[in-house]
Amino acid sequence: MKVAIVRYNAGNTASVVNALGRLGVEPLITDSAEGLLAADKVIFPGVGEASSAMLYLKERGLDEVIRGLSQPVLGICLGMQLMCASSEENDAECLGIVPLRVRRFPAGGLKVPHMGWNTISNLKGTLFDGVEEAAYVYFVHGYYVESGPEAVALATYGLEFAAALEHENFFAVQFHPERSGAVGEQILRNFLKL
Protein backbone atom coordinates (compact mmCIF):
# COMPACT_ATOMS: atom_id res chain seq x y z
CA MET A 1 0.00 0.00 0.00
CA LYS A 2 1.34 3.42 -0.99
CA VAL A 3 0.71 6.15 1.59
CA ALA A 4 1.64 9.74 0.79
CA ILE A 5 1.98 12.58 3.29
CA VAL A 6 1.40 16.08 1.91
CA ARG A 7 4.51 18.25 2.35
CA TYR A 8 3.54 21.92 2.64
CA ASN A 9 5.81 23.58 5.21
CA ALA A 10 3.49 22.74 8.11
CA GLY A 11 5.10 20.91 11.01
CA ASN A 12 4.43 17.57 12.64
CA THR A 13 5.30 15.32 9.72
CA ALA A 14 7.99 13.39 11.61
CA SER A 15 5.66 12.16 14.36
CA VAL A 16 3.11 11.03 11.75
CA VAL A 17 5.87 9.13 9.91
CA ASN A 18 6.90 7.47 13.20
CA ALA A 19 3.30 6.49 14.01
CA LEU A 20 2.86 4.96 10.55
CA GLY A 21 6.19 3.15 10.96
CA ARG A 22 4.83 1.47 14.10
CA LEU A 23 2.01 0.16 11.87
CA GLY A 24 4.48 -1.16 9.28
CA VAL A 25 3.92 1.61 6.73
CA GLU A 26 6.71 3.67 5.17
CA PRO A 27 5.07 6.76 3.64
CA LEU A 28 6.26 9.03 0.85
CA ILE A 29 6.48 12.68 1.92
CA THR A 30 5.77 14.78 -1.16
CA ASP A 31 4.53 18.07 -2.54
CA SER A 32 4.25 16.69 -6.08
CA ALA A 33 0.90 16.12 -7.75
CA GLU A 34 2.18 12.84 -9.17
CA GLY A 35 3.17 11.49 -5.75
CA LEU A 36 -0.22 12.33 -4.25
CA LEU A 37 -2.23 11.00 -7.20
CA ALA A 38 -0.30 7.69 -7.24
CA ALA A 39 -0.92 6.99 -3.53
CA ASP A 40 -3.55 4.59 -2.21
CA LYS A 41 -4.05 6.82 0.85
CA VAL A 42 -3.10 10.46 1.48
CA ILE A 43 -2.45 12.02 4.89
CA PHE A 44 -2.68 15.81 5.17
CA PRO A 45 -1.17 16.66 8.58
CA GLY A 46 -0.08 19.99 9.89
CA VAL A 47 0.76 22.34 12.68
CA GLY A 48 1.05 25.93 11.57
CA GLU A 49 -0.84 28.95 10.30
CA ALA A 50 -3.72 28.69 7.83
CA SER A 51 -3.06 31.57 5.39
CA SER A 52 0.64 30.80 4.81
CA ALA A 53 -0.13 27.09 4.46
CA MET A 54 -2.82 27.86 1.85
CA LEU A 55 -0.39 30.14 -0.01
CA TYR A 56 2.16 27.30 -0.24
CA LEU A 57 -0.52 24.89 -1.53
CA LYS A 58 -1.82 27.39 -4.12
CA GLU A 59 1.65 28.32 -5.41
CA ARG A 60 2.25 24.64 -6.24
CA GLY A 61 -1.27 23.89 -7.52
CA LEU A 62 -1.73 21.44 -4.65
CA ASP A 63 -5.03 23.04 -3.60
CA GLU A 64 -6.64 21.76 -6.82
CA VAL A 65 -4.86 18.40 -6.57
CA ILE A 66 -6.08 17.80 -3.00
CA ARG A 67 -9.67 18.84 -3.85
CA GLY A 68 -9.64 16.36 -6.74
CA LEU A 69 -8.26 13.32 -4.88
CA SER A 70 -10.53 10.27 -5.06
CA GLN A 71 -8.66 7.95 -2.66
CA PRO A 72 -9.14 8.20 1.13
CA VAL A 73 -7.58 11.38 2.54
CA LEU A 74 -6.99 12.03 6.26
CA GLY A 75 -6.53 15.60 7.47
CA ILE A 76 -4.90 16.06 10.87
CA CYS A 77 -5.13 19.29 12.95
CA LEU A 78 -4.32 22.14 10.51
CA GLY A 79 -4.97 19.66 7.67
CA MET A 80 -8.56 19.30 8.95
CA GLN A 81 -8.99 23.06 9.21
CA LEU A 82 -7.68 23.61 5.67
CA MET A 83 -10.34 21.23 4.33
CA CYS A 84 -13.00 23.71 5.50
CA ALA A 85 -14.41 26.74 3.66
CA SER A 86 -12.56 29.46 5.56
CA SER A 87 -10.60 30.22 8.71
CA GLU A 88 -10.65 33.21 11.01
CA GLU A 89 -6.88 32.74 11.26
CA ASN A 90 -5.74 35.72 9.15
CA ASP A 91 -9.03 35.49 7.18
CA ALA A 92 -7.79 32.51 5.16
CA GLU A 93 -9.84 31.10 2.32
CA CYS A 94 -9.38 27.33 2.64
CA LEU A 95 -9.95 24.36 0.31
CA GLY A 96 -13.75 24.31 0.68
CA ILE A 97 -14.02 20.51 0.68
CA VAL A 98 -16.31 20.75 3.72
CA PRO A 99 -18.65 23.77 4.00
CA LEU A 100 -17.74 24.56 7.62
CA ARG A 101 -15.85 27.50 9.09
CA VAL A 102 -12.84 27.55 11.37
CA ARG A 103 -13.18 29.94 14.31
CA ARG A 104 -10.89 31.24 17.03
CA PHE A 105 -11.61 30.08 20.56
CA PRO A 106 -13.16 33.01 22.42
CA ALA A 107 -10.88 34.92 24.76
CA GLY A 108 -11.55 34.94 28.46
CA GLY A 109 -11.70 32.03 30.84
CA LEU A 110 -10.04 29.49 28.55
CA LYS A 111 -6.36 28.95 28.02
CA VAL A 112 -5.70 29.15 24.28
CA PRO A 113 -4.39 27.13 22.57
CA HIS A 114 -6.42 24.17 23.75
CA MET A 115 -3.59 21.80 24.58
CA GLY A 116 -3.67 18.37 26.16
CA TRP A 117 -5.89 15.35 26.60
CA ASN A 118 -9.65 15.64 26.09
CA THR A 119 -12.51 13.25 25.41
CA ILE A 120 -14.33 12.77 22.12
CA SER A 121 -18.00 11.82 21.89
CA ASN A 122 -20.83 11.14 19.41
CA LEU A 123 -18.47 8.88 17.47
CA LYS A 124 -19.73 7.80 14.03
CA GLY A 125 -18.21 6.07 11.03
CA THR A 126 -15.48 3.54 10.31
CA LEU A 127 -12.67 5.84 11.49
CA PHE A 128 -13.84 5.10 15.05
CA ASP A 129 -14.31 1.31 14.79
CA GLY A 130 -13.05 -0.16 18.06
CA VAL A 131 -12.80 3.26 19.75
CA GLU A 132 -14.90 3.73 22.88
CA GLU A 133 -17.20 6.70 23.43
CA ALA A 134 -15.46 9.34 25.60
CA ALA A 135 -11.99 8.06 24.65
CA TYR A 136 -9.14 10.47 25.40
CA VAL A 137 -7.09 11.98 22.55
CA TYR A 138 -4.43 14.70 22.40
CA PHE A 139 -5.25 18.19 21.10
CA VAL A 140 -3.12 21.27 20.31
CA HIS A 141 -5.10 24.05 18.59
CA GLY A 142 -6.11 27.69 18.98
CA TYR A 143 -8.86 27.48 16.35
CA TYR A 144 -11.73 25.03 16.06
CA VAL A 145 -14.08 23.75 13.35
CA GLU A 146 -17.73 24.50 14.00
CA SER A 147 -19.96 21.46 14.26
CA GLY A 148 -22.14 20.48 11.31
CA PRO A 149 -23.57 17.46 9.48
CA GLU A 150 -20.05 16.32 8.50
CA ALA A 151 -18.93 16.03 12.15
CA VAL A 152 -18.35 12.39 13.14
CA ALA A 153 -16.94 13.19 16.59
CA LEU A 154 -17.38 16.11 18.96
CA ALA A 155 -15.29 17.55 21.79
CA THR A 156 -15.90 20.30 24.30
CA TYR A 157 -13.49 23.01 25.40
CA GLY A 158 -15.62 25.87 26.65
CA LEU A 159 -17.87 25.16 23.68
CA GLU A 160 -18.68 22.11 21.56
CA PHE A 161 -16.75 21.72 18.32
CA ALA A 162 -16.10 19.15 15.60
CA ALA A 163 -13.30 16.81 16.67
CA ALA A 164 -13.54 14.80 13.43
CA LEU A 165 -15.15 15.14 10.00
CA GLU A 166 -16.15 12.80 7.21
CA HIS A 167 -17.24 13.90 3.74
CA GLU A 168 -17.14 11.47 0.79
CA ASN A 169 -13.51 10.21 0.67
CA PHE A 170 -12.24 12.96 3.00
CA PHE A 171 -11.72 12.24 6.70
CA ALA A 172 -10.23 14.58 9.27
CA VAL A 173 -9.41 14.83 12.95
CA GLN A 174 -8.65 17.98 14.94
CA PHE A 175 -6.62 16.01 17.49
CA HIS A 176 -3.29 14.29 16.89
CA PRO A 177 -3.76 10.52 16.47
CA GLU A 178 0.00 10.12 16.26
CA ARG A 179 0.24 11.47 19.84
CA SER A 180 -2.90 9.81 21.21
CA GLY A 181 -1.55 6.42 22.27
CA ALA A 182 -3.54 3.25 21.57
CA VAL A 183 -6.69 5.20 20.61
CA GLY A 184 -4.82 7.22 17.99
CA GLU A 185 -3.13 4.09 16.67
CA GLN A 186 -6.53 2.43 16.24
CA ILE A 187 -7.83 5.45 14.30
CA LEU A 188 -4.79 5.40 11.99
CA ARG A 189 -5.19 1.64 11.53
CA ASN A 190 -8.87 2.15 10.64
CA PHE A 191 -7.93 4.80 8.09
CA LEU A 192 -5.33 2.54 6.47
CA LYS A 193 -7.98 -0.18 6.08
CA LEU A 194 -10.43 2.09 4.19
- The set of catalytic residues is 77, 176, 178
Asked if residues 54 and 63 have their Cβ atoms less than 8 Å apart, the reply is: yes
Q: Which residues are CB-neighbours of 125 under 8 A, at least 6 positions away?
A: 152, 166, 171
SS3 (DSSP) at 86: strand
β-pair partners for 107: none
Q: Rounded distance, CA 127 to CA 194, Å?
A: 9
User: Could you tell me which of 166, 128, 168, 162 has the C-alpha nearest to residue 148?
Assistant: 162
Peptide bond before residue 177 is cis, with ω within 30 degrees of 0: no
Asked if residues 103 and 85 have their Cβ atoms less than 8 Å apart, the reply is: no
Q: Rounded distance, CA 54 to CA 62, Å?
A: 9
Q: Which residues are CB-neighbours of 52 under 8 A, at least 6 positions away?
A: 9
β-pair partners for 166: 171
